[in-house]
Amino acid sequence: MSQSPLLDHLLELRRRLLIGVIVVLALFSVLAFFADDLYSWLAAPMLASLPQGSTLIATDVATPFFTPFKLALVVSIALAVPVLLWQLWAFIAPGLYQREKRLVVPLMVSSSLLFYAGIAFAYFVVLPLALNFLANAAPEGVTVATDIASYLDFVLAIFMAFGIAFETPVAIILLCWTGVTSVTSLRAKRPYVIVGAFAVGMVLTPPDVISQTLLAIPMWLLFELGLLIASLYQHKPPSAAPESD
């Protein structure tokens, strides 16, 4: 009998994971038919930055076949993020208080939207500028010929960096809400945060000032947004305290 609750939790976890896997596979089964089109869309910024008549290349025999399918799988996982987060929410919801439930649901929705916003910002703003800079930075006599698999890995790293960076407001709200830190403390550390944002930009983006700045500035602005929202949440505990008494 003592193991029954644990077994129930494990079975519930398996069910939630299975639902997530099924959703990802269902999306992949559809997107696989458009794998080449997806890669053409992804390669558009790179092709636009290359000299006239230049194209991407494949240095491995199987690369032209597997690379588009790899992209289709990654896109399937990205599109399934709201479902995956909902399954996570459904698993942990029974152990949360009502006040916590009211906070978690908006955070999950906003985290999904911010993640997609980060990817969109990277694709439409960062990639064209960064790729154009890198392509024109080649020494005289050097022809830029990028492998399609290497380009995919490069772009996915950029997408992941900006997707995670755009989660800054959610991270700040959670840190303040759980008591790990406070809005006042974070405001006092604002100069260090700005320097840290540029340091993160240097690590996560290509070695050019443009893409580093385009990551650091949104991180700083999202930090300020997170402080604003966290300050609104911090006003609630004092009013809730008399009710608990």
Average pLDDT of 6-12? 79
pLDDT tens-place string over residues 26-54 = 999 999 999 999 999 999 988 888 777 77
What φ, ψ does residue 178 adopt, rounded to 5°? -85, -5
Share of the chain above pLDDT 90, in %: 24
DSSP assignment of the chain, as one string?
-TTHHHHHHHHHHHHHHHHHHHHHHHHHHHHGGGHHHHHHHHHHHHHHHSPTT---B--SSSHHHHHHHHHHHHHHHHHTHHHHHHHHHHHHGGGS-HHHHHHHHHHHHHHHHHHHHHHHHIIIIIHHHHHHHHHHTSPTTPPP--BHHHHHHHHHHHHHHHHHHTTHHHHHHHHHHTTSS-HHHHHHTHHHHHHHHHHHHHHHS-SSHHHHHHHHHHHHHHHHHHHHHHHHHHTHHHHHHHHH-
Average pLDDT of 82-105? 77
Q: Is the confidence at residue 3, as pLDDT, over 90?
A: no
Q: Residue 240 has what pLDDT? A: 44
pLDDT band (50, 70, 90) for residue 239: very low
Q: Residue 241 has what pLDDT? A: 44
| Residues 111 and 226: beta-carbon distance below 8 Å | no
**Domain residue extents for the chain:** 1-113+142-147
pLDDT band (50, 70, 90) for residue 129: confident
- How many Å is the Cα radius of gyration of the chain? 22
Higher pLDDT, 210 or 120: 120
Among the residue ranges 46-50, 104-108, 134-138, 238-242, the one predicted with the least confidence is 238-242
Q: Is the confidence at residue 212, as pLDDT, over 60?
A: yes
Q: Coil, strand, or helix at residue 107?
A: helix
Nearest to 89 by CA among 78, 79, 100: 100
Q: Residue 4 has what pLDDT? A: 67
State how far the Cα of 97 lies from the Cα of 110, in Å rounded to an integer: 20
Six token digits for residue 15: 């069910």
Share of the chain above pLDDT 70, in %: 87
Average pLDDT of 223-229? 86
